[in-house]
Amino acid sequence: MATTFNPRQLISRLVSNYYKSATGIFPKHIEQREFGFGNFDIKVLGRHMGFRDEKQFRDYLVSNAPMFASCSQSYYRDPTARPMEKKDAVGAEMVFDIDATDMNLPCQIEHGKKWVCEICLDSVKAEATKLVEDFLVPDFGFSESEIEINFSGNRGYHMHIDSEKVSHLDNFARREISEYIAGSGMDFKTLFPTAGARATKLLGPKPADSGWGGKIANNVIKTINMGPDELMRLGATKQEAKQLYEKRALFEMGVRNGNWDMVYIKKKDEFWKNIIAKQAVNQGDKIDKNVTADPTHLLRVPNTIHGDTGLIAKKVGTKASLGKFEPMKEAIAFRQGEAKVHVTNSPKLIMNGEAFGPYSDEDVIVPIYAAVYMHLKGVGAIKGFRAKAR
């Protein structure tokens, strides 16, 4: 292995080679999109770029080997014009961005926000599934086939809807949709019309209701049936939780008919208002609201390389394909060869079904994809490369 070895040169060469034959890298209406590219240090270094066709785009990727390739959700008459208003938007996809970083998972306290473990990847996949099953299909009427899912290339998923139904929605409508899904700004008084009124029953949503009402009723019933601890986690006192748990059959019967008053709770309005606000935060989907609300936001081009991992921001397909998608296997881009890495400190890494590490201050020889991953995650440095596999 050579002494004047430069890992960035190696990675750039791998990226360039990948783009020579990569498939599915062309976004629809390529000539109407704004592009931006990044290097090893900055994700979007320059934007306001455009390509007239697929060949020009591929040539750019092969010659420049960008570490990040992003494009707009918006379609423009003139994508390279500046400032933004001069681009003249003609429509836009709607995109939902779900990232494990925003989920505050317990495992992240152990391995840090920058690292991604199997729990992170499974949790974010479950969240993406929830977005489709609990919101996009039942509440907005999209069909599963309209929702295209892409792995972000690191620790999340992007869900794209490219349809006439959403193409012309303005930023305000997009903001409303994202707020709704996140469960923010929910109005208690709309859900519980008699709240605050004296000497009346507390009427509220039924499990069969559409939208958030039904979600809340179902989830409260589920939570109560799980035992007093679950309810206490949402802020109930021990006594309130015990009371509701013991009389759960009666409570459930009431709620099924929209009557939330079958079990006596002191200061019931305030009690349910607090519980439901907490529950909505848990139950709302953990989307990045700014990505959905602002279609000028640039997002990773599907099937391009993610420069924090060396993985492909792989197209997954629809929800039916998401369940069995294995990002740390199927999104591997560089498969030929192996590398020597000096690892400073790496948690266990599972790629292509094989476990590497944990490593601490040691030299290891691993397949090139694992080496690039550790290098780009900053837990090690590649010291040499051998093109021929073991």
Q: How many CB atoms lie within 10 A of CB 14?
A: 20
CB contact at 8 A, 365 and 331:
no
Applying CB under 5 A, the site for Zn ion has a residue count of 4
Task: Give residues 63-122 in contact with Zn ion (rule: CB under 5 A).
Answer: 107, 117, 119-120
What are the residues whose beta carbons fall under 8 Å from the beta carbon of 46, sequence distance 6 or more?
A: 36, 37
Minimum distance between the CB of residue 118 and Zn ion, rounded to whole angstroms?
A: 7
- C-alpha separations of 324 from 79, 116, 126, 208 in Å: 37, 19, 12, 31
DSSP string, 63-80: HH--SEEEEESEEESSTT
The rounded distance, in Å, linking the Cα atoms of 17 and 15 is: 5
Minimum distance between the CB of residue 106 and Zn ion, rounded to whole angstroms?
A: 8
The rounded distance, in Å, linking the Cα atoms of 343 and 364 is: 7
Minimum distance between the CB of residue 358 and Zn ion, rounded to whole angstroms?
A: 14
Minimum distance between the CB of residue 100 and Zn ion, rounded to whole angstroms?
A: 7
* Nearest to Zn ion of 14, 370 (CB atom): 370
* Nearest to Zn ion of 44, 350 (CB atom): 350
DSSP string, 30-43: GGG--EEEE-SS-S
* Nearest to Zn ion of 61, 120 (CB atom): 120
* Nearest to Zn ion of 11, 120 (CB atom): 120
Q: How many CB atoms lie within 10 A of CB 24?
A: 12
Minimum distance between the CB of residue 154 and Zn ion, rounded to whole angstroms?
A: 12
Minimum distance between the CB of residue 216 and Zn ion, rounded to whole angstroms?
A: 29
* Nearest to Zn ion of 299, 349 (CB atom): 349
**Stretch 118-147: interaction string toward Zn ion, x if CB under 5 A:** -xx---------------------------
* Nearest to Zn ion of 110, 229 (CB atom): 110
Residues forming the site for Zn ion (CB under 5 A)? 107, 117, 119-120
